Structure 1
């Protein structure tokens, strides 16, 4: 599952705070009986036959499910999951004998208890459960939900599903935990004008009055969360790869935007098939762009669904960044057809086996087919975000430990995705790509159509590599946080050595822990690279002859840890910055800024390094500037409301202005995508930092586009529209609002919403906030408006208070999961420590304990911004060059 910019945070790790040393747990292999969950393992499903009566025009639906189960021991009742459903009939068939069942609804556990009316026990052996029920269609992207598109001026409804993590139970009664794999056979009755899709191909269609009954082939055994169905008016483009029929499916009028994703899939599917040595397991692979309502993407087996902006590319409007995001999202979801679908994490505690591996493989595959994109460098921004979380108290281990079902979405977070993927990249580098691939292929063959734990994975990779992979991996997956490696060099009698000291890296410097990681440390002088396994708190390594060349630790930048150099060594690395390898440059920039954030390195050292960036002129410069932009935005946010903010912006203009002047404002013919992306990023940040010349050109370009005089270049369209929003007067604000209202696709809606939310006029900000509970756009977009205003404008307090005052309505529009984000997102503009405590208090009152993690993490981010402001604001003007 991909949640992109709204991926959930994780729950608080009660078992280990930052003040204690985490205990590295054992990693046992998969055992059905030992797998944690809510339901008992006494009743095991093998097959579902589901019949649904669906109509996109209706707010409700009806269904019937027949479940073949095996009772492993005699029990007095059967317990399974069901939520928001109303039972109308319940029967148990045992040996051909029908027994009426009484349904006891248990709202807290979201289960039904099926009690035989005759009070006789349910014997060991095979049985069939038959349940008839009704349910509700959701207006938000969870469970069975409605999405809409425009066709010939009319609104066209469709139905789609998002069942991960625990929403299958809102569509049909089920054993809704990953460990309960079973076959699913679906029949759908729907109005005949609509097309119906599911995981498997349709086997037959039968007209029934004004409706058609669609019968689909049975799936292989799979968990309930991978079940998928869609009903609506649809179009598609078709192709084939690795012997598998492919379709990209869209709302009417959008099929031409599907070709890019089809070509990407045609590259990716054969690559994955070859990499694992295991073919795609189903007879077809459909991928569907849902026209509104949903977030991100979902890897449903054989019918992957996406938000439109994660699958479709408009050749006339989509930026280079959109193309890259679409490619990587497709790479991620198609990877899940193996990681997650063919082999499924045993429980939500092991969900990283699905998501971290899909993230790792997404980057690997994207880099293979698009080497000029510099994917390993581009991954730095999400990795830094994960490290910021992991350096605080509201974090957890990758293997999360016990997961409360009502808070299960907390584990779909940057710790699982970005940290998990980065740790796998580090382990692959240590083990070697060949042995790593061999181990994964053996893992796939061994656990095919079954479940798995970390123990299964490390067993197979360990056998392939001949190394104690389990012990090294466990130090990264089974304890929270990551290390800071401090570097101390020495030269004696012509021989060089380095002493490395590790300790847990924390945003609040000075808090001690006794944690130790087994770190594959790569060290380089020039092109000579040496990798050692550091497995104690302090170790000394010989480096051969003394050398004047600076030593780089974490050479290549692939390790998930921070590096702190002595002042003289940092100065030497800064002086030779342009001569370093591209991964080394990125690692040094990232680590130095993080050490500034935590107060370990003076701000001047960071600005000295930043001043060296213009000396880099190879293709990696785009990614370096992207990271530098995010760092300057952090400083800008931290200093908001103080004179120091203007100093940050002045420095940004001084640094970035010459880079844009060098590139030119207007794109050159046939220039590389990286150059276009760099220009767009510079324009956007220079506009945010009030560079007069850039703002003047931006507004003129927008006006020329609006009048039809000169359409915006595709590569600059997003940057100019977003920059226009920052400086929009009433007339331009109204034009942006009109464009948002007319937008027919998700990419356009999000673009105009972000632009509008960036404005600096209080009256217009109020107008936009009022639209967050209106029909201005689908619920996923409008409910995000307060958070976007808080993050991108000076009106964070206004956005937060609006969210508080309208929480009930916003929560109804955003759904069970989305409502947990409302207040934390609306607090992203705060940089005063007292607001952190208020956020935690408000979140608990409005959301309950299931929202604690998101609030705790944003509270930590607020405190970090406040700490940087308190430490740096007074001396910032003096510290800044120029």
Structure 2
């Protein structure tokens, strides 16, 4: 699944793991549970219990197998035969959109048992030959009679108790008929709606990851429970049906008086339930293929979007990427086709369903006339991410969600390689420092972080699984290991050995160790297991301190708030085996390994004007601190050190200052050289760090001093609007956009006037937008912020009439920029109205409003007052709930706000926070740290900017 919306340079076998993840995607097998059973006490009706029996599910320790969230290991699926019929019109009797279905699952009994547990959620089972379920023995096996069955709501099981026992080694078939709601909740088999040429249209589509396949049909819904799926879709004539495999038979028929089309698909490969996809729509497509390979490649979307050419960029990069990945893995694309489809309503950025990848429209469609270069990069990297999963994630799959990093972290790495192959002039691999490393540093420096590999017992419930889809799982793995990326031989072996199966991370270490032993000249100070487990099984990362006067090096667990208490124990006492690439005076030296807390025998002493730079090209996952003299020498040499390290020195300095390791003034001084900086990455690093100061001070007197600070005016003076429109390289364009955007934000009057004039020209002629696509986000936001009701209402009309998703997204974000409180309150109300704001966009819209200094308290009041409704209606298991909490609380820095957060937690304990539970804990930790930082640094920040302005 896409992480949101982006690896570095290939590193050799003595560097960092980077792609070590590429060798194994995947994870811990279902635990063996106690199969103790108690017979249902409810009276059977026609041999089938239709209500949940009395259980001890409310107790802390489950006693019955159906009270556990994990399946027992007594049964394993072999194949499914599924028929689904979604109705794209409202059911006259229920007033709902519904779907009906039939499912036969063939499973093997691994251990003798008289109980069948199969996942089933929000499905109404209908009678099948007088029963809700029918069990049949295969190949001479005799199926015992069903005593009773019921739906266990809490753990989402269909529970079937048998009169006799299933025999180990024998196979059986379980048949069910069912009906479900084709709801608009973005989960399982669901409904998406849109209007085209004034006509409302309905799409039946799906999102199964992580635990939603059970909403579409009864299934063994765990990633290790792989099977082959035979899928048939019944659908309204004139629509097209898609699934994971190619369609092999399409016939028109009549069922119950309805004229329909029945489409049967080729059997899937052996795969996990979360990778299934079912779609019925009237979409159009464009077609391509992989050169020298009989693989059909198609891009699907709304007919109008396809007709206007918005799918061609994705189509043009898909073929080259698939070819690149075939070479990278030394394995052919495993399927006969690759469909990618853009959906009007989709909760995630994208989803790697095998053979039928689903996307938000903004992640797949690109309009050259109205979309920005940033939109183009989003399409490139998200497509690259999802295609990377076709091998690792889909062909070889995680065994349990506690090790999600093996799946998503790998794709986050390989997406940069695929994207770079498709767009080699963009230098996109350099962006990992911004998109991945800095982002994950911010989270992993908290005492409430977690290891990459969590214990299985920590990840059981659906909301706990959803919570794993976070920055740690997606981004830390890229740099979170000081070992090697797998050799081509190791990669190839992993694909072949584990194809169509599941694996765990220790398999990766085994094969990397083999690569080390068989690579001439390659050596490590310890085994791969010893090195890697320190980065995988304990959270956080170290700050390495180098004293160039003595040559002593030390490491310490880096915490953004050094006073925070780390409750999570570490098997390695928070020490790591750290590979240190370094240079002295501009000359790269031999890599050094820091293997314990302190090393006193390192040749890093300096003489005269010599300087030492460690973590060369940010090849390791750690921060670096130096003695004061070396800091001074580095600050004076920032223009000559490597590009990526310039960005990292700024980021290290600002975060070390926040952690009270160095002085805040020292961090601020690293920005002085920026008047000579022309590259995007260091500028973006500086802007992001200065943004923290803005968030902390934009409600107080210090902010006035920040606005007139020479550093901010310098940004605008360094670049011009004309350059933004003339540069062709993507990173140059980003730099110029930053210049204008940040200048406007900091109140540069020329910038505000310019954006308002452009927006007014558009208002006077709505059919002709004069604003360059690359500047739309900046212009829209600043013009609406400087304007009033007229500007807001115009933008709202343009948003509602937008037919290009990227344009609608820019306007939706900009509408949150107004400084008029009642407009912001009205917009908050709109966010919970699906007729105005799509459900997929609800939480991000509230977050946009909270980013506005005027909107933040309004948004905070709003979600506190409506938390129960938001949680229930928009799904506590949604991946977006952590983003909502993070977005609304990012500016919190007062004791009163911390008290409110704690009260919010207490008041809603009964409702819950779902996938946002950890985010709430982190919000409280960050708020406490912000309070102390502001109190300790406000005066010196004001003094520094005051001196800079005189």
1:68 has 2:106 as partner? yes
Of the three residues 678, 685, 696, the one matched with 1:638 is: 696
From the superposition, tell whether residues 50 and 288 of structure 1 become closer, same or farther in structure 2 (CA, over 3 Å): same
CA shift digits 1:86-134 (9 cap, x unpaired): 2122000014767664322111211111123xx1222231111101111
Corresponding residue for 2:837?
A: 777
Distance 1:874 1:855 in 2: 30
Corresponding residue for 1:123?
A: 167
Are the counterparts in 2 of residues 61 and 134 from structure 1 also a CA contact under 8 Å? yes
Tell which deviates more after alignment, 213-222 or 709-718.
Answer: 709-718
Distance 2:274 2:299 in 1: 22
Are the counterparts in 2 of residues 741 and 777 from structure 1 also a CA contact under 8 Å? no
Are the counterparts in 2 of residues 327 and 366 from structure 1 also a CA contact under 8 Å? yes
Distance 2:26 2:832 in 1: 48
Corresponding residue for 1:682?
A: 739
Instruction: Quote the offset at 1:461 in angstroms.
Output: 1.5
1:186 has 2:231 as partner? yes
Distance 1:676 1:572 in 2: 31
Distance 1:35 1:386 in 2: 34
1:568 has 2:634 as partner? no
1:702 has 2:759 as partner? yes
Instruction: Quote the offset at 1:837 in angstroms.
Output: 4.6
Distance 1:756 1:29 in 2: 41
The 5 Å alignment of 1:203-222 reads 203-209=248-254, 210-222=259-271
Corresponding residue for 1:79?
A: 117
The TM-score with structure 1 as length reference comes to 0.91
Instruction: Quote the offset at 1:727 in angstroms.
Output: 2.1
1:397 has 2:451 as partner? yes
Are the counterparts in 2 of residues 196 and 229 from structure 1 also a CA contact under 8 Å? yes
Of the three residues 445, 453, 463, the one matched with 2:496 is: 445
Distance 2:839 2:320 in 1: 34
Corresponding residue for 2:358?
A: 305
Instruction: Quote the offset at 1:390 in angstroms.
Output: 1.1
Are the counterparts in 1 of residues 31 and 72 from structure 2 also a CA contact under 8 Å? no
Instruction: Quote the offset at 1:766 in angstroms.
Output: 1.4
Instruction: Quote the offset at 1:147 in angstroms.
Output: 1.6
Corresponding residue for 1:614?
A: 675
Distance 2:682 2:466 in 1: 32
Of the three residues 811, 836, 848, the one matched with 2:898 is: 836
Corresponding residue for 1:480?
A: 539
Distance 1:317 1:863 in 2: 43
Of the three residues 625, 628, 633, the one matched with 2:686 is: 628
CA shift digits 1:353-400 (9 cap, x unpaired): 110110111123333443533433454244223112111122110011
Are the counterparts in 2 of residues 139 and 293 from structure 1 also a CA contact under 8 Å? no
From the superposition, tell whether residues 216 and 99 of structure 1 become closer, same or farther in structure 2 (CA, over 3 Å): farther
Distance 1:863 1:31 in 2: 36
Unaligned runs of 5+ in 1: 7-26, 491-496
Corresponding residue for 1:170?
A: 215
Distance 1:248 1:847 in 2: 41
Instruction: Quote the offset at 1:5 in angstroms.
Output: 6.5
Corresponding residue for 1:103?
A: 149
Corresponding residue for 1:530?
A: 590
Q: Secondary structure at the match of 2:602?
A: strand
1:236 has 2:285 as partner? yes
Distance 1:499 1:593 in 2: 23
Are the counterparts in 2 of residues 2 and 329 from structure 1 also a CA contact under 8 Å? yes
Distance 1:380 1:670 in 2: 21
Instruction: Quote the offset at 1:164 in angstroms.
Output: 0.7
Distance 1:689 1:669 in 2: 24
The 5 Å alignment of 1:409-420 reads 409-420=466-477
From the superposition, tell whether residues 35 and 286 of structure 1 become closer, same or farther in structure 2 (CA, over 3 Å): farther
Of the three residues 585, 588, 604, the one matched with 2:665 is: 604
Corresponding residue for 2:799?
A: 740
Are the counterparts in 2 of residues 638 and 868 from structure 1 also a CA contact under 8 Å? no
From the superposition, tell whether residues 35 and 449 of structure 1 become closer, same or farther in structure 2 (CA, over 3 Å): farther
CA shift digits 1:208-237 (9 cap, x unpaired): 232111101111111110011111111112
Instruction: Quote the offset at 1:42 in angstroms.
Output: 0.8
CA shift digits 1:2-32 (9 cap, x unpaired): 24179xxxxxxxxxxxxxxxxxxxx999885
Distance 1:449 1:695 in 2: 57
Corresponding residue for 1:4?
A: 4
From the superposition, tell whether residues 112 and 841 of structure 1 become closer, same or farther in structure 2 (CA, over 3 Å): farther
Q: Secondary structure at the match of 2:336?
A: coil
Q: Secondary structure at the match of 1:404?
A: coil
Instruction: Quote the offset at 1:717 in angstroms.
Output: 2.1
From the superposition, tell whether residues 762 and 577 of structure 1 become closer, same or farther in structure 2 (CA, over 3 Å): same
Instruction: Quote the offset at 1:299 in angstroms.
Output: 0.4
Distance 1:472 1:366 in 2: 30
Tell which deviates more after alignment, 394-403 or 656-665.
Answer: 656-665
Corresponding residue for 1:380?
A: 434
From the superposition, tell whether residues 228 and 374 of structure 1 become closer, same or farther in structure 2 (CA, over 3 Å): closer
Instruction: Quote the offset at 1:199 in angstroms.
Output: 0.5
Distance 2:377 2:210 in 1: 27
Are the counterparts in 1 of residues 606 and 612 from structure 2 also a CA contact under 8 Å? no
Aligned length in residues:
843
Unaligned runs of 5+ in 2: 7-23, 34-68, 91-96, 127-131, 518-523, 567-572
Distance 2:614 2:877 in 1: 41
